[in-house]
A and B are shown apart, each in its own frame.
Chain A
C-alpha cells in the first residue's frame, strides 16, 4: 500500500497581500507556504504510514522553487517527492491542472490498495475542484470534505462534512480523498528528518516525462488547453472611509445610536 498526496505551494494570504499596479497579485513579493488543507492530507497519510508502514509519495505541480516545500514534506516523514514542472503546464485552469496531475499520478502508479489524497481547496484559488477532477480523470471514487479517516485493509471509512452535520461513508481502495484542515494537526519536521530530506528521492516530471500519456495533449493542458479564461480582472473600489467616533464613553455611544436612528438604520 502507498499514499500519494497532492500538495500546492501557495502565497501566504494571511500576511500582506501585494498587488501589482495592473491589479494582479504580486506572487513574487509574498511569502509562500504549503496549503493548509494539503498539509492535513500529508499528515493523514503519515499517520497511515505510522500505523501500517506504507510508503508516502508527495506530488506537486509548480515552478522549480516548489522543491523547497517538497523537501520540507520529506523532512516531515514522506518517502518520495515528485515535482511536476514545465513551461507547457503554465497557465492551466483546474481542468488542465487535473489532467496533468492525473497523468503524473498514473506515472507514479496507483495500485489496488492505494489512497490518493488532496486538500479540500487551495487558499489562493479557493475552487476545491482539482481533487474531484483528478478522481474523475483517474476513474477513482472520491470523498471530499473528509474530517476523519479509518483504514481497515482495503476498506476506508471516512467522515464527510456537510454544512449542518456529516455523512459516514465507506469506500474501497483505490480511492481519492480531499481533506479539510480540521482533520488533524500536522507534525513538525524533525531534525533528523531535515538531515535526511536531501538524501530522499525527488524526481522532476517535465513535459517530456509525461507527454506520452493520452491526458497530456496541447489541447488539454496549459493556457491553451484550459476551458476557462479570464475575461477581465479588476480591483474592487476602495470603500469610502467610515466615521470614527470620538471617545468611547456613554456620550459617544448615544451619539452613534442617534445617527443610526436618524438614518433609519435601527
Chain B
C-alpha cells in the first residue's frame, strides 16, 4: 500500500532517532528516549530507537533499552558511517514508510536539524523545531501550564485529543507556543539537547531490548555530496549542558579580558563548575564559541548560574533563565539580568568576584 501521511489511524508507536558519531551514541539520544518512554506509556505503545551507522557495537544498541527503548531498528551500512543528508534521509524515510510510527523525535543537533526538515518535507508531514516540552495527555499538559504559563488553566477550554503537544519558546523565550500536527503522521519534533532529563539506566531494560536489523537499500548514487573530512576542534567540548554550576562572563570583562576569564575560572573551580559566556565575548574573540550560552549557543539549567558582567539581553536569558539559582554581578543596576537573578550585586566584578571566591572557600572550609 502506498504511503499516505494523512491516514493518521495507520500510524503507531514512538520513535527516537539515536544519533551516533564515530560509532558512539550521543547523550541527547538518552534524553530523548527517557522523554519518549513517558509518551509511549501515555499512549500505550512501543518505544523504538532508530540507529543508522556502520558496525555499531551491540552493547551500545542494547544500552538504548536501558533508557527505555523496547526495540531498536538498526540500519547497518558502510555509507551510513558518516552522516550525509541524502543517505540518512533515504534510509529513514524508507523505514517510516514501512513501519509508520506515530511520533518521531530527533535531537536538535547540527545534524538533527539538517535531517529533520528534509525527512518531514519528503514524508509530507509537520515538524516542530527545538521543542522544550512534550505531552500527549491533555491533563498532563494542563498541569504543565499551571506552573509555566500565565494562562488561567481551569477556565480555559482545551480540545481533548492525543495529538503530540509540542511546546517551544519563540522570540527568545518571551512567548511560548504549543504546536500540534493533527492531520499528518508521523508527528515530528526536534528537541533541544539538554532540556529533557535522562532517566536512570535500567539494566533489566537493556537486557530485553529487541534489536531489529533493517535491510538497507542504499548505493553511492543515492548520495550527492562527498564528505572529504570530519575534523574535531582541537579543544575538548565544554560540557556546559551537563554542568551543575556555570560561571559566565560577558562584555563586562572588556577592561581586562584575561583577568576576567581567570576570575570566572577560579570561581567555577571553587563551585565545581564550568565557564560559560555571552555572545559578546565570543564575537570579540575572547573565548571560543563552545562556551556560549543563549539562543544561538547552548541552553543550560544548572543549579547555580553566575553572571559576571552580563547585561542580560533576551538572547542570553533564553539560554539560562531556567537555572535554579541565578547570581548576577553587574555595575549597572538597571541591567535586565537583575530581573531574572535570584541574587544581585551591583558592583565591579573585578572587586566582587575575588571576595566571593574567598567567602565561598571559607564557607566550604568551615563545613
Contact = CB atoms under 8 A, between A and B. Distances in A.
Interface in B225-244: 225-233, 237
A237 B114 contact: no
Given A13-B171, A168-B227, A256 B126 contact: no
Contacts of A236: 148-150, 173-174, 176
Interface string A36-78: 0000000000000000000000000000000000000000000
Interface string B289-330: 010000100000001100000000111000001001111000
Contacts of B339: 239, 241
B178 A266 contact: no
Query: For B110, B174, B179, B303, which residue has the most chain A Cβ atoms within 10 angstroms?
Result: B110
B359 interface: yes
A227 B304 contact: no
B116 interface: yes
B178 A261 contact: no
Contacts, number: 256
Contact of A23 (B117, B175, B327): B175
A128 B117 CA distance: 8
Interface string B151-183: 100000011000101000011111111111111
B130 interface: yes
B15 interface: no
Contacts of A169: 225-228
B129 A126 contact: yes
Contacts of B341: 242
Contact of B171 (A17, A129, A161, A247): A17
Given A98-B121, A142-B85, A266 B127 contact: no
A74 B290 CA distance: 35
B177 A253 contact: no
A258 B145 CA distance: 34
B237 A164 contact: yes
Query: For B129, B173, B290, B364, which residue has the most chain A Cβ atoms within 10 angstroms?
Result: B129
Interface string B79-110: 00010011001000000000000000000011
A95 B126 CA distance: 7
A128 B326 CA distance: 30
Contacts of A190: none
Query: For A130, A145, A228, A257, which residue has the most chain B Cβ atoms within 10 angstroms?
Result: A228
A129 B344 contact: no
A93 B126 contact: yes
Contact of A252 (B158, B313, B345): B345
B176 A242 contact: no
Interface residues on chain A, size class? 35 or more
A13 B225 contact: no
Interface in B201-242: 224-233, 237
B24 interface: no
Nearest to A220: B124
B336 to A, nearest CB: 11
Contact of B121 (A19, A95, A233, A238): A95
A172 interface: yes
Contacts of A24: 175
A133 B175 contact: no
B122 to A, nearest CB: 6
Interface in A237-266: 237-239, 241-245, 247-250, 252-254, 256-261, 265-266
Nearest to A167: B230
B128 interface: yes
Contacts of A229: 179-182
A237 B148 contact: yes
A161 B163 CA distance: 34
A122 to B, nearest CB: 11
A123 B294 CA distance: 13
B129 A137 contact: no
23 contacts: A25-B175, A126-B295, A128-B113, A131-B117, A132-B116, A141-B224, A142-B85, A169-B227, A228-B126, A230-B180, A232-B158, A232-B177, A232-B178, A234-B150, A235-B174, A237-B148, A248-B346, A248-B348, A248-B351, A252-B347, A253-B356, A256-B356, A260-B360
6 tightest A-B contacts by CB? A248-B347, A227-B126, A228-B126, A141-B224, A129-B117, A136-B121
Given A94-B117, A145-B114, 5 more contacts: A129-B117, A129-B127, A132-B116, A233-B176, A260-B343
Interface of B: 82, 85-86, 89, 109-111, 113-114, 116-118, 120-122, 124-130, 145, 148-151, 158-159, 163, 165, 170-184, 224-233, 237, 271, 290, 295, 303-304, 313-315, 321, 324-327, 333, 338-348, 351-352, 355-356, 359-360, 362-364
